[in-house]
Structure 1
């Protein structure tokens, strides 16, 4: 396989599972050294990368905590010498409830991880990328960052916020060689979707029926999009929210 990211370093948050795991593994398959970050360690991601001859480390990180994020980026650079790409993917769905019934605790937790976490990651990633004069950041939003979803108001607000942060950072650093984009997944077969279905007593078939393409997506399809946004093939793309959703928001 061609390795366009050889001698490059990628950092992926929320990389123990789902979309993050798929993206970390795909970066490694294409030659990058990968920092796998998550609040919970599952050895499968790092083990899979190493078994295929790649280089990876695990860094425990709660992205809602400044000290954790600062350490995550520092450890990545200490180990691999630089930072070229970041996929800020860590996120949670939180509790489901109508807007008036959402608890303050749920609000703070979801916003802390999904929105504050993306900001903290960029806060520490950007200075490292500016040192090399080139870099790419991809933030994980959602189709819930583009349209409303009854029952998950705080998740929806957090993902709208991610797109706002992405566009602003893209403009701020457009002339520095640093590009910042977002990816907006639709219904992807991950543990998060399974939890959402269980909590809302919604059948998976009902979720999938909202996809014009007729199926849910898989994590690798989002990984392909995120990695493309990091590549030179997307060199004229910045401040963009790339929808990968099987046609959901086109309806």
Structure 2
């Protein structure tokens, strides 16, 4: 592994960070997407695909209510905290955007503020009726044995996450691409960055001349030529050193 040298953030004005499931593993949270994830297991995949909304809504809610419990009990680790510290200590003329593929909400609990959730948030609920005016909302309710209905239109409610087979939120996609237009430092953590649309993010950053860095447990295969620097290992160990901050 390369020696971890702290980044001098004073020379950057538009910092973009992309995080994936690997950043939450140290918090005891199973990965939702990717090889070996709970979302890909044959026993649970039927609950994590868009078909479950109509074919087995009770099973979908039971599954994600349990996932809510797991995510709620998880504690942000040193990697989450290091990113939150970085954002809070930047100058007023510096921009920081955290794009996450995770649905656990741990970045916000760690203190991160400018977070774009590509795949939604398991702690939010929304209506299945596209014409309904109910906005997605955060809640702590669990529906392990019931199917909740919308208070406005009566249609079924569902977790506000992107299931397999669904498109990303147009707003989240647009916000992510906008943040990369003038990016001069791009950092990927706990993700291979090989799955689209995230695969386009490092490419977009490289095209505008950004410094590109990846922190991941294992080397990417095949290697991504758009990453200039690679640090292999646990995000919770590497990131505090790389960002030049740490907490006891």
Q: TM-score, normalised by structure 1?
A: 0.31
Greater helix fraction, Structure 1 or Structure 2: 1
- Higher Rg: 2
The structure with higher relative contact order (CA 8 Å, sep 6+) is 2
